[in-house]
Amino acid sequence: MRKIFLFSLALLFSWQLAAQESKQFKIHSHNDYLQKAPFWEAYAAGAKSIEVDVILQDGKLMAAHEEESINPAKTIESLYLDPIRKGIENGLIDGIDFTLLVDLKTSALPTLDVLQTVMEDYQDLAYGKANPEGLKLIISGNRPEVTGYESYPEWMFFDYQSKDLNESLPWDKIGMVSLSFRQFSIWNGKGRMVEDQREKLQQFIDQVHSFDKPVRFWGTPDSKTAWKAFYEMGVDYINTDKPYEANSYLKSLPNTVYQNPEIHEAYQPKFELDGASVPVNQIILMIGDGNGLAQISAGLFANGNELNLTQLKNMGLIKTQATDDFTTDSAAGATAYATGRKTNNRALGVDPSGKPLQNLPDILDGYGFRSGIITTDQLTGATPSAFYAHHAERDDASEIASFLPKSKLDLFIGGGEEKFIEQKEALEDAGFLLNKLDLATSKKIGYFESKGSLPAKLGSDRGDFLKESTQFGLNFLGKEQSPFFLMIEAAMIDSGGHGNNSSLLISEMLDFDEAIGEVIQYADQHPGTLVIITADHETGGVSIPQGDIASSTLELAYHSDDHTGIMVPIFAYGAHSDEFRGVYENTEVFHKIMKLVQGYHSGN
């Protein structure tokens, strides 16, 4: 007994977060006595109904489903009533907010007689007028006639198991209404329940609720899809043999399900020069940090099944591995795009040995190109700094910041001004007009949108920062009538993946797509523009188990809270965009760009 209690104690503390009560659903721990730590696993998982099968044998109530599985040490007292009392005495249980569903496997009347005798020693726990917060036992399985319910003690209630619901029933003694799920449906928990079966089930649920009683079904499929379906239908006690998994999944729904409140209209590209073999004069590289295929799909389905991005026809897949790791980080991923060389994770603009590498702004300056970077991250963040810095550690912000005044950039817009306080004079000496978006007079502009990190778009006043910065950047770099390169990063799609937060992920992806629309429209208006849209890596191992396009609602599932090695899509539009089709390494993006530049421009 002591071993069971100590194991139970360890479980309770290791799962203390899962034990928090959910106000949105209730778990029924089916056949709970079969768990490694009966009662405690269910309690730690937040179950509000805990099932124990009992067999009357030699005057004792054994916790078992059939006689062959009886263990003399496992009784309703040892597995349930004693642990509950000990838990209250030790402060592990601070209130009884659950019921025991006692499933009688032997004849009702003699078994209930013994149960009443047993409970005489647990009156301190039992529900009653003198103890309204006490433990309720709901009798299931073999039960007395309904007409006899009123003769049993205050703490004893009954599991009513019939479709015959009427006002004459002794509702004050009915603890819940339960039926076999198979009376309504043969659904296996995969895909979607057949609609007429679902309607019959919903009608019964609603009928039970009309009598202000909870409903439960046994024999249900035991999967995430099923748990969510029953939760959405209003099943009060969701039946499961996996209480911890069910509780964890259902608790996650506020983070994993998102309904997009506002759909933006997608720009329809003209395709007049898409893939045309004309001189490339404007190169716009757009990087959605962490933006894999599932993220794009989520944005698509949440936006009425249409995105600016998904209008494009030329696309491929990018392999993202770093030199020292199968799964890249943003520093190595962005360095591959900026320099055409693989490097170690955490390294910016240097090779695996730490030797500085020339980046696109450095190189393109020799071909007469102006360059700029725009990001929703801090400007010392891994992706933007790969286009101006040369340092082996991405978190050395002060070291990274020191490279910006020496860069070949003509424009930078992003957050993180506090990291550049010591560089302000050097930036001004390098010709940057700081914190004024002035198209008319300045040849170099540096704009800090925030002292530290920018807020997420959702729930803040960030507004259309990325879209408007993109518009400004295109106009600013294009005003000199010289060729230019512009890198635009949507940084917080990655944050949504890391945090397994669907609302953040989808809203940031849609914000990115609005900027993509501006760039595609610019390309249509400015021949010789090449637009490349990709990601540095995928974040979260995201999939989309369920959704509803009509209501712009998506449920995302997450395999990880980190980056993954999944290939990421690449889209291209405009001049020579067809050359970006295929499956290739991230470094090839750089080399494809440089091949086009060298084909049409002369270097110094």
Sign of CA dihedral 59, 62, 65, 70: negative
Question: Would you say residue 1 has pLDDT above 60?
Answer: no
Backbone angles phi, psi at 335, to 5 degrees: -60, -40
> 12 near 45, Cβ under 8 Å?
no
Q: Which run of H or E residues covers position 104?
A: strand 99-104
State the pLDDT confidence band at 529, using cuts at 50, 70 and 90: very high
Residue 22: pLDDT band (50, 70, 90) is very low
pLDDT at 14: 41
Alpha carbon distances (Å) from 88 to 91, 95, 142, 475: 5, 8, 30, 69
Provide the 3-class DSSP secondary structure of residue 173. Answer: helix
How much is the pLDDT for 3?
44
- Which pLDDT does position 576 carry in this prediction? 98
Mean pLDDT for all residues in the chain: 94
Q: Residue 145: exposed, middle, or buried by beta-carbon count in 10 A (0-12, 13-18, 19+)?
A: exposed
- pLDDT per position as a tens digit, 53-101: 999 999 999 999 888 889 999 999 999 999 999 999 999 999 999 999 9
CB within 8 Å of 321: residues ≥ 6 apart = 327, 328, 342, 565
| pLDDT of 41 strictly over 70 | yes
- pLDDT above 70 for 220: yes
Positions of E strands within 33-78: 49-57, 60-63
Name which residue leads in pLDDT, 465 or 66: 465
Distance, CA of 545 to CA of 563 (rounded, Å): 20
- In this structure, of 8-17, 260-269, 378-387, the range with the lowest mean pLDDT score is 8-17
Gap between the terminal Cα atoms of the chain: 83
Q: What was the pLDDT predicted at 86?
A: 96
Give the pLDDT band of residue 480 (cuts 50, 70, 90): confident
DSSP result, 334-377: HHHHHHS----TT-BSB-TTS-B---HHHHHHTTT-EEEEEEEE
197 contact partners, CB below 8 Å, separation of at least 6? 184, 185, 186, 187
According to the model, what pLDDT value does residue 7 have? 44
pLDDT at position 500: 97
Tokens representing 11 are 């479980």
CA-wise closest residue to 494 among 507, 505, 482: 505
Buried b (16+ CB within 10 A) or exposed e, 481-513: eebbbbbbbbbbbbbbbbbbbbbbbbbbbbbbb
Beta bridge partners of 429: none
Determine contact, residues 230/202, Cβ cutoff 8 Å: no
580: helix, coil or strand?
helix
Which residues, other chains included, contact 310 with Cβ-Cβ below 8 Å and sequence gap of 6+? 266, 296, 300
Other Cβ atoms within 10 Å of 151 Cβ, number: 9
Query: CA triplet 456, 461, 466: central angle to 5 degrees?
Result: 60
Helices (H), 211-329: 224-233, 243-256, 293-302
pLDDT band at 481 (very low <50, low <70, confident <90, very high): confident
Query: Tell me, what's the pLDDT at 8?
Result: 45
User: Do the beta carbons of residue 569 and residue 535 sit within 8 Å?
Assistant: yes
10 band by pLDDT with thresholds 50, 70 and 90: very low
Q: Which residues pair with 534 in a beta bridge?
A: 287
Alpha carbons 61 and 39: distance in angstroms, whole number? 16
Cα dihedral across residues 380, 385, 389, 391: positive or negative: positive
The H-assigned helical ranges of 36-81 are 40-44, 76
Burial of 440 (0-12, 13-18, 19+ CB in 10 A): exposed
The residues near 164 (Cβ < 8 Å, ≥ 6 apart) are none
Superfamily grouping for domain 2-258? Phosphatidylinositol (PI) phosphodiesterase (3.20.20.190)
Q: Where are the domains of the chain?
A: 2-258, 267-411+437-444+453-600
pLDDT at 381: 98
CB 402 within 8 Å of CB 362: no
% of the chain beyond a pLDDT of 70: 96
Query: In CATH, what class is 267-411+437-444+453-600?
Result: alpha beta
Q: What is the DSSP letter of 391?
A: B
Q: Are strands 49-57 and 26-29 parallel, antiparallel or unpaired?
A: parallel
- Pick the residue with more confidence: 600 or 15? 600
Whether the pLDDT of residue 18 is over 50: the answer is: no
